[in-house]
Structure 1
Amino acid sequence: MRAVYAARQDPGSPLTGLETGDLSDLPDVPADWVPVQVRAAALNHHDLWSLRGVGLRSEQLPMILGTDAVGLDPDGRTVLVHAVISSPDWVGDETLDPRRSLLSEKFPGTLAERVWVPARNLVPAPASLTLAEAACLPTAYLTAYRMLTTAAGVRPGQRVLIQGAGGGVATAALLLARAAGAHVVVTSRSEAKLEQARAFGAQETVHTSTRVAPVDVVIETVGQATWEHSLRSLRPGGVVVVAGATSGAAPSAELNRVFFRSLRVIGSTMGTAAELAQLVAMIDTCGIRPVIDSQYGFDDDAEIHRAFRRLDSGEAFGKVVLVR
């Protein structure tokens, strides 16, 4: 089966371990899992972390990469693939299962001709989106949806600060927060990305670490570079939701500020299949169109490597997508 996979790992030069081609020696998957013919898949920084050796052991190589996909199930229905794999006997929120994993961590990922998942991990794709747009939903948009709704409980009129314009989760949070009626403030070091954020509906855009009027909610995926700014931007009783730390762990928790101002710090990771279905309903109802930075051919090796270089550059605004 033709696939995009991690053949080697290098913390400093992750793309040197990226390979494409036929891969037949795959880890076994349970016999009752369902195959999906992949039509489009979005790339994520999780793929780069795997190539760096984070969250994926070297003895598991080669491993097919990818956590996002839209494709056809055995009945010909267009479905989204939910990448959180819980234990067979787990009941409830999949993200709370201590034995959970993501596709491409224990089982082969989505960057292939086919991917196998439990039937419960398939969600009907939104009819309002193209295949490329739909492929953006299962990781970045689901993560942002859970952060805003389940974790923060964002309400219309609240002020929401989103750190790091242009990232997949940050861009998704911008669109979803605006659709939920929030007043959105976005930060970036790049003036070009701030301009793009304004074009997609941000009411305020500021350079990273610039003081802003107090906000109710902070969407934090950057970590060390923005953590102090996130806490100091919150009104008393506000909440910061953390789903990543791409710039490194925060140097100080600033606990004095946290307890004195009654701040809440909530960790959030991915989301459930039920939340993915809720996200689809919101997408269809509100007319949200995921932001695609660039599209590349899924069946062209040179195109695939170009797509990964674009992701690794840090210059993308929105999602990088492979399409058949």
Structure 2
Amino acid sequence: MIAAYARDLSPDDPVAALEVGDRPEPVAREHWSVVDVRAAALNHHDVWSLRGVGLRAEQLPMILGTDAAGVVDGREVVVHGVIGGPSGHGVGPDEPRSLLSERYPGTLAERVAVPTWNLVDKPAELSSVEAACLPTAWLTAYRMLFTTGRATPGQRVLVQGAGGGVATAAILLGAAAGLEVVVTSRSDERRAHALTLGAAAAVEPGARVPRVDLVLETVGRATWSHSLRSVRPGGTVVVAGATTGDPTAAELTRVFFQEISVLGVTMGTRDDLQHLLAFLARTGVRPLVDRTYPLTQAREAVARLAAGEQFGKIVVTV
């Protein structure tokens, strides 16, 4: 079958480490299903894997991709990409949690094998391309806002960094749920685009904003101090990434003196994914798709993501 996979690891030029070509078919086994992939979305996780973060040379070649929508025996499904952990479905409770493309081949392929428990029915209202955008970025945004952040209508939320998949998902989900969403971006174009998606305000990084109830933090060092200054006393900062690295100072004095809760999120549960799919099916909210590429052009797709040129999700179709 055709797949996009990490042939090498290249910290400085991740696209050069990607190969598109033949890989062995996934092997059927007990409690697992083989999904015919229709669409698979890219995530920064794929770029970091090519750089060698989370992957070792002895694991190569490794098919990339954590998100997919496809078909199993005529059933249209969305793949939940978290394998193992406490639930242990399909792999046993003693296996550590991982994402597809870390310990098991990923979704950037014509077919992928996953634990049958990880399959969620795709609502008819969503296309395969739209559904493929959800299991990582959109699921993360949903969990940050509602499961962990416990946001309620009327609250003010600060989203650091407009343009990425998590940020655009948070804007669209938050606006649909009655939240006042404020976003930051260095780009005039991205700030303007965020407003068209439903953000109440879009400002430059570090700009003073009215105190917010909740901050969604995925940037790290570049925005951490601004996040802590912007959240109200007793408010919450939910962290799901650090694309600019760890903060040089944690500012713990501010955290404990103002009783700020700092909580971490990595994607979400299968139940979260089902709730997210229902939210979209019933509200009409849809993922923002930046561009689609056929699987044979996966290198061009990854190059666009690595260059940071996208606004919304990049999707590879099969």
Give the conservation status (yes or no) of the 8 Å contact 2:25–2:111.
no
Aligned to 1:86: 84
Output the CA distance in 2 between the equivalents of 1:88 and 1:72: 27
Residues 132-211 of structure 1 aligned to structure 2 (within 5 Å) = 132-211=129-208
Query: In 1, are the aligned partners of 2:160 and 2:183 still within 8 Å (CA)?
Result: yes
- SS of the residue 2:8 aligns to: coil
What value does the CA root-mean-square deviation take over the aligned residues?
1.8
8 Å contact from structure 2 (residues 239, 263) kept in 1: yes
Which ranges of structure 1 fall in alignment gaps of 5 or more residues? none
Tell me, yes or no, if the aligned pair for 2:156 and 2:181 is still in contact at 8 Å.
Answer: yes
Contact residue 37 and residue 70 of structure 2 kept, 8 A: yes
Residue 24 to residue 90, structure 1, CA distance change in 2 (3 Å): closer
Other-structure match for 1:54: 53
Q: Deviations over 1:178-229 (max 9, x none)?
A: 1111000000011110011011010100011111110000000000110000
* Contact map agreement 2:165 2:311 (CA 8 A) in 1: yes
Aligned partner of 1:14: which letter? P
Q: Is the 8 A contact 1:211 1:233 kept in 2?
A: yes
C-alpha deviation, 1:87, in angstroms: 4.8
- The size of the alignment, in residue pairs, is 316
User: Could you report, residue by residue, the CA deviation over 1:284-307 in whole angstroms, capped at 9, with x for unpaired residues?
Assistant: 111111000111112x2xx22211
Task: Look up the match of 1:319.
Answer: 313
- Per-residue deviation, 1:126: 2.3
Identity %: 58
1:36 matched to which residue of 2?
35
Indicate which of 240, 245, 254 corresponds to 2:237: 240
Q: Does 1:224 align with 2:218?
A: no
Task: Tell me the residue number matched to 2:24.
Answer: 24
Partners of 1:29 and 1:212 in 2: how far apart? 53
What is the match of residue 259 of structure 1? 256
Partner SS, residue 191 of structure 2:
helix
Q: Secondary structure at the match of 2:145?
A: helix
SS in 1 for 2:162: coil
Whichever residue aligns with residue 168 of structure 2, its letter is T
Instruction: Give the TM-score normalised by structure 2.
Output: 0.96
Q: Distance in 2 between matches of 1:138 and 1:89?
A: 18
- Give the 3-state SS of the residue equivalent to 2:277 in structure 1: helix
In the TM superposition, residue 32 of structure 1 has moved relative to its aligned partner by 2.9
Matched, 1:120 2:117: yes
Give the C-alpha shift of residue 25 in structure 1.
8.4
Name the TM-score, length of structure 1 as normaliser. 0.94
Secondary structure at the aligned position of 1:99 is classed as coil
Query: In the aligned structure 2, how far is the partner of 1:138 from the partner of 1:125?
Result: 12
Task: Name the CA distance, whole Å, in 2 between partners of 1:289 and 1:210.
Answer: 29
State the Cα distance separating 1:147 from its structure 2 match.
0.6
User: 1 CA distance for matches of 2:190 and 2:123?
Assistant: 28
Is this contact kept in 2: 1:126–1:283, CA < 8 A?
A: no
Matched, 1:268 2:262: no
Contact 2:28 2:34 in 1 (8 A): no
Mapped to 2, the partners of 1:108 and 1:133 lie a distance apart of 22
| Unaligned ranges ≥5, structure 2 | none
Hey, which bits of structure 1, 4+ residues long, moved more than 4 A? none
Cα offset for 1:29? 7.2
